[in-house]
Amino acid sequence: MIDALRYVGRDLHHRSFSVSSDRRELLWQEMDACLQLADQLSASPTRQPALDRLSDPAARPCTLITGASSGIGAALATSFAQRSEVLVLVARRGDRLESQALALQERFGLRVVPMALDLNAPQAVDQLLARLAAQGLWVETLVNNAGFGLRGTFEASSWDQQDGMLQLMVRVPTQLTRQLLPEMQRRGQGCILNVASLAGLIPGLPGSTLYSAVKAYLIRFSQSLAAENAGSGIRVMALCPGYVHTEFHAVLGVEERMQRLPGLFWLTVDQLVQWTERGLKGSRVVLVPGRVNRVIAALAQYLPLRWANALSAAFSRRFRSRP
């Protein structure tokens, strides 16, 4: 953790030369806090690492959103900005994150902390926790949203791509939840929102083998986590959207093909946010937004497996392309 703090401090110093003067001052303050905390931990090596700072009674609550710079993550950031004291946005694209943070600050008048970070990098979660500690923040709401898709059948993508998906969409949300949940439990309040997918509820989805498996993991993880924390004051929910109008399919290179889908299959990000906001106020652990998506989820659950597999295979042949 000490090495992570010092690494973050050096990284903030380098980044400060490419931002505005106002932002540079904030980065320098964060850099100083990281380096000071590293020095304190070096002087007292027996102390619990930076997580101690997250347990500070004076720490301010924040909402942490991963994959926040575009698509569903950006829409959720706007939603949570309306009811959060501090918003922490994490994504790889620093320039996009900076402009997004400034826009949210100006619009809603809250403190927004952009953290440009590749969560697939070694020790990325440790670095994120160190920066939260240096900022004097504890995570009251965790939104595990970071992710990406892979085009084509399982053997069509490389192991490096698949390993990256497992790291970002399984290990990172699991590690963040494990590190941040104890403080929520201690305070008797918190919220964990795992952005899964309708794909995680559909058996045998050709062309989406690893993606659907990863999303199924997030759904089961959320269900068990909710059961373990029932009555604790901690809200756990898996959000399982179907097709949403974002840049997701354009990035995959399948947008033109996916436009063949009838409009009733699609949601806008605003519609998705409305469903999410209502869902978080309720008690449902697995939320499938959209009436058509709910019908699909019900069919996948109650149809004989052979029929469900045949339907998903037929759908994939019609609307998904092989590389």
Which residue from 159, 110, 161, 117 is spatially nearest to 137, judged by alpha carbons?
A: 110
**Same-domain pairing of 106 and 53:** yes
**Same-domain pairing of 151 and 18:** no
- Two structure tokens written together for 262: 């009838």
pLDDT tens-digit series, residues 66-110: 999 999 999 999 999 999 999 999 999 888 999 999 999 999 999
Determine the pLDDT at residue 91: 96
Determine the pLDDT at residue 207: 80
The predicted model gives 196-225 an average pLDDT of: 93
**Helices H, strands E: what count in the chain?**
14, 9
For residue 285, tell me if it sits in a domain.
yes
Q: Domain containing 225: what range? A: 147-155+193-323
**Same-domain pairing of 141 and 216:** no
Other C-beta atoms lying within 10 Å of the C-beta of residue 7 = 16
**Same-domain pairing of 210 and 305:** yes
**Same-domain pairing of 276 and 151:** yes
- Residue of 211, 217, 243, 302 marked catalytic: 211
Return d(Cα 268, Cα 256) in angstroms, integer. Answer: 17
Q: Count of domains in the chain?
A: 2
**Same-domain pairing of 21 and 126:** yes
For residue 181, tell me if it sits in a domain.
no
pLDDT band at 186 (very low <50, low <70, confident <90, very high): very high
Other C-beta atoms lying within 10 Å of the C-beta of residue 69 = 24
pLDDT tens-digit series, residues 267-276: 999 999 999 9
**Do 197 and 240 form a contact (C-beta atoms < 8 A)?**
yes
211 labelled catalytic? yes
**Same-domain pairing of 295 and 282:** yes
**Same-domain pairing of 131 and 205:** no
For 194, how many CA atoms within 13 A lie in the half-sphere containing its CB? Answer: 32
How many residues belong to the chain?
A: 323
- Two structure tokens written together for 281: 């106020």
The CATH number covering residue 229 comes to: 3.40.50.720
pTM above 0.85, yes or no: no
Return d(Cα 190, Cα 96) in angstroms, integer. Answer: 28
**Same-domain pairing of 60 and 102:** yes
Helix (H) or strand (E) segment spanning residue 222: helix 209-228
The residue with greater pLDDT, 299 or 184, is 184
**Same-domain pairing of 260 and 216:** yes
Measure Cα distances from 201 to 127, 241, 271, 294, 303 in Å.
Answer: 33, 11, 21, 11, 13
